[in-house]
Structure 1
Amino acid sequence: MDYKQALKNIAKGQIAPVYIAYGSESYLIQELVHKLTDKLIPAEERAFAVGRYDLTETSIDAVLEEAETLPFLAERKLVVASGAVFLTGAKDTGKVEHNLDRLAAYLKSPADFTVLVLTVDADKLDERKKIVKTLKEAGALVPCAVLAEAELIQWVQQQAAKAGFSFAPGAAEQLIQYTGTSLQTLGKEVEKCYLYIGAGGTITGAELGQLVTKTVEQDIFQMVEHIVQMQMEQAFTMLAELLRRKEEPIKIVILVARQFRIMLQVKDLTQQGYSQQQIASQIGLHPYAVKIAAGQAGRFEAKRLTGILQQLGELDYQMKSGKIDKVLGLEMFLLRLAA
Structure 2
Amino acid sequence: MNYEDILANLRNKIYHPVYFLMGEESYFIDQISEYIAQHVLTEAEKGFNQHVLYGKDTDVDTIITYARRFPMMANHQVVIVREAQNIKKIEDLEPYVKNPLKSTILVLSYKYKTLDKRKTFTKQVAKTGVLFESKKIYDNQLPAWINSYLKAHQYSIEPQASAMLAEYLGTDLSKVANELNKLIISLPGQTRITPDHIEKNIGISKDYNIFELQNALGERNILKSNQIINYFAANPNSNPFTRTVASLYFFFMKILTYHFLEDKSQNAVASALQVSPFFVRSYVSAAKQYPIRKVVEIISILREYDMKSKGWGNVSSDSGDLQKEMIYRILH
Scaled to the shorter chain, the TM-score interval is 0.7 to 0.9
Within 2, Cα distance between the matches of 1:309 and 1:17? Answer: 52
Q: What's the counterpart of residue 192 of structure 1?
A: 182
TM-score, L = length of structure 2 = 0.73
Q: 2:197 aligns with which of 202, 207, 215?
A: 207
Query: What letter is aligned with 2:121?
Result: I
- Give 3-state SS (helix, strand or coil) of 2:80's partner: strand
Q: What's the counterpart of residue 281 of structure 1?
A: none
Q: What's the counterpart of residue 20 of structure 1?
A: 20
Shift of 1:190: 2.2
Shift of 1:8: 1.7
Within 1, Cα distance between the matches of 2:259 and 2:101? Answer: 54
- The answer to whether residue 92 in structure 2 is matched with residue 98 in structure 1 is no
Within 2, Cα distance between the matches of 1:83 and 1:244? Answer: 42
Within 1, Cα distance between the matches of 2:298 and 2:222? Answer: 18
Q: What's the counterpart of residue 324 of structure 2?
A: 331
| Correspondences of 1:44-83 after superposition (within 5 Å) | 44-71=44-71, 74-83=74-83
Shift of 1:117: 0.8
Residues 169-191 of structure 1: per-residue CA shift (max 9 Å, x gap):
65445443443343322322222
- Give 3-state SS (helix, strand or coil) of 1:145's partner: coil
2:2 and 2:132 in contact (8 A); partners too: yes
Shift of 1:141: 0.7
Within 1, Cα distance between the matches of 2:46 and 2:147? Answer: 32
| Correspondences of 1:1-339 after superposition (within 5 Å) | 1-71=1-71, 74-85=74-85, 97-98=88-89, 100-101=91-92, 103-122=93-112, 124-146=114-136, 148=141, 152-161=145-154, 165-168=155-158, 171-214=161-204, 223=213, 226-245=216-235, 247=237, 252-260=240-248, 262=250, 291=275, 301-314=295-308, 317=311, 320-322=314-316, 324=317, 326-339=319-332
Shift of 1:308: 3.0
Residues 173, 265 of structure 1: CA spacing in aligned structure 2 closer, same or farther, 3 A cutoff?
Answer: closer
2:241 and 2:323 in contact (8 A); partners too: yes
Within 2, Cα distance between the matches of 1:55 and 1:144? Answer: 19
Residues 72-130 of structure 1: per-residue CA shift (max 9 Å, x gap):
56542211113343xxxxxxxx5x532624x2211222123310011222475311222
Shift of 1:229: 4.9
Shift of 1:221: 6.8
Residues 291, 71 of structure 1: CA spacing in aligned structure 2 closer, same or farther, 3 A cutoff?
Answer: same
Query: What letter is aligned with 1:136?
Result: A
Query: What letter is aligned with 1:111?
Result: L
Query: What letter is aligned with 2:151?
Result: Q
- Give 3-state SS (helix, strand or coil) of 1:197's partner: coil
- Give 3-state SS (helix, strand or coil) of 2:117's partner: coil
2:147 and 2:157 in contact (8 A); partners too: no
Within 2, Cα distance between the matches of 1:329 and 1:210? Answer: 30
- Give 3-state SS (helix, strand or coil) of 2:149's partner: helix
Shift of 1:18: 0.5
Shift of 1:53: 2.3
Query: What letter is aligned with 1:97?
Result: K
Within 2, Cα distance between the matches of 1:169 and 1:331? Answer: 28
- % identity of equivalent residues: 18
Moved more, 287-296 or 48-57: 287-296
2:230 and 2:324 in contact (8 A); partners too: no
Within 2, Cα distance between the matches of 1:289 and 1:46? Answer: 50
Residues 229, 50 of structure 1: CA spacing in aligned structure 2 closer, same or farther, 3 A cutoff?
Answer: farther
- Give 3-state SS (helix, strand or coil) of 2:51's partner: strand
Within 1, Cα distance between the matches of 2:159 and 2:253? Answer: 31
Residues 255, 29 of structure 1: CA spacing in aligned structure 2 closer, same or farther, 3 A cutoff?
Answer: same
Within 2, Cα distance between the matches of 1:18 and 1:202? Answer: 40
Shift of 1:268: 9.3
Shift of 1:198: 0.8
TM-score, L = length of structure 1 = 0.72
5+ long unaligned stretches in structure 1: 86-93, 274-286
Query: What letter is aligned with 1:333?
Result: M
Aligned length: 308
Within 1, Cα distance between the matches of 2:323 and 2:128? Answer: 57
Shift of 1:49: 3.1
Residues 130, 197 of structure 1: CA spacing in aligned structure 2 closer, same or farther, 3 A cutoff?
Answer: same
5+ long unaligned stretches in structure 2: 262-270
Within 2, Cα distance between the matches of 1:123 and 1:263? Answer: 32
What is the root-mean-square deviation in Å for CA atoms of aligned residues? Answer: 4.1
Shift of 1:15: 0.5
Within 2, Cα distance between the matches of 1:35 and 1:320? Answer: 52
